[in-house]
Amino acid sequence: MRTAVVLVSGGLDSATTLALAREDGFECYALSVDYGQRHRVELQAAARIVATLGAREHKVVKLDLADFGGSALTDASMAVPTAPSSGIPSTYVPARNTIMLSLALAWAEVTGSRDIFIGANAVDYSGYPDCRPEYLQAYEAMANLATKAGVEGARLRIHAPLLRLSKAEIIRRGADAGVDFSQTVSCYQPTQTGLACGRCDSCRIRRKGFADAGIADPTAYV
């Protein structure tokens, strides 16, 4: 059976991505990164999602990106924006997807997986440079030169099945693939018990996605 490493953050995009990877016939190694994010309930959500959808193994790698600072998602002294911003917002975590994909690449090598799935999205991507198609293509090219598998002639693929979908389309695809969205957390600043603020960028995009999809929003807001 073909195996894939799937990055699972606990949000609805990565939950849908895991469901789609399984639909594609992959046995999945689910990888979450504990990077010092404010919204740690995300990691609990990731565990619930993986338990429900199923995976060969779920690993949580700890890496303290808060050490570097520079993002409202890891730096408690920076405010999470609650109004739409132009340009790259302060919730951007420097090099996040590059770091996550690199950890996925390491696990893919060890498990002999040729496929890596990430829930990156270029439509509702909130202005992050590392969610663009050209970035992912360049990552894949690099990955094929970086690894033992690549040297030995195998072809590594970075899959981003949500890349060109709107949030509403992601929600419809996820619902069809059996995702329980009540298990997912999108909010950048949820309460300790996992209630969403309803005001940050991520909550706004999520809420509008359910409305546009015509699917009831199961999110518990404060």
Using CB under 8 A, list all residues that contact a copy of itself: 59, 61-65, 67-70, 88, 92-99, 102-103, 105-107, 109-110, 129-130, 132, 134-135, 138-139, 141-143, 145-148, 150-151
Tell me how far, at minimum, the Cβ of 177 lies from a copy of itself, in Å.
Answer: 28
Tell me how far, at minimum, the Cβ of 81 lies from a copy of itself, in Å.
Answer: 16
Measured between alpha carbons, how far is 73 from 131 in angstroms, rounded to an integer? 17
Measured between alpha carbons, how far is 117 from 7 in angstroms, rounded to an integer? 6
Measured between alpha carbons, how far is 89 from 86 in angstroms, rounded to an integer? 7
Nearer of residues 54 and 94 to a copy of itself, judged by Cβ: 94
The answer to whether the Cα torsion of 127, 134, 46, 59 is positive or negative is negative
Tell me how far, at minimum, the Cβ of 114 lies from a copy of itself, in Å.
Answer: 14
Nearer of residues 143 and 162 to a copy of itself, judged by Cβ: 143
Nearer of residues 51 and 141 to a copy of itself, judged by Cβ: 141
User: For helices 12-23 and 41-53, what crossing angle results, to 10°?
Assistant: 20
Nearer of residues 69 and 178 to a copy of itself, judged by Cβ: 69
Tell me how far, at minimum, the Cβ of 93 lies from a copy of itself, in Å.
Answer: 8
Residue with tokens 């920076």: 78
Greatest distance between any 2 Cα atoms in the chain: 53
**What does the radius of gyration of the chain's CA atoms come to, in whole angstroms?**
17
Tell me how far, at minimum, the Cβ of 106 lies from a copy of itself, in Å.
Answer: 4
Burial of 78 (0-12, 13-18, 19+ CB in 10 A): middle
Measured between alpha carbons, how far is 222 from 54 in angstroms, rounded to an integer? 30
Tell me how far, at minimum, the Cβ of 214 lies from a copy of itself, in Å.
Answer: 34
Nearer of residues 48 and 132 to a copy of itself, judged by Cβ: 132
Nearer of residues 134 and 193 to a copy of itself, judged by Cβ: 134
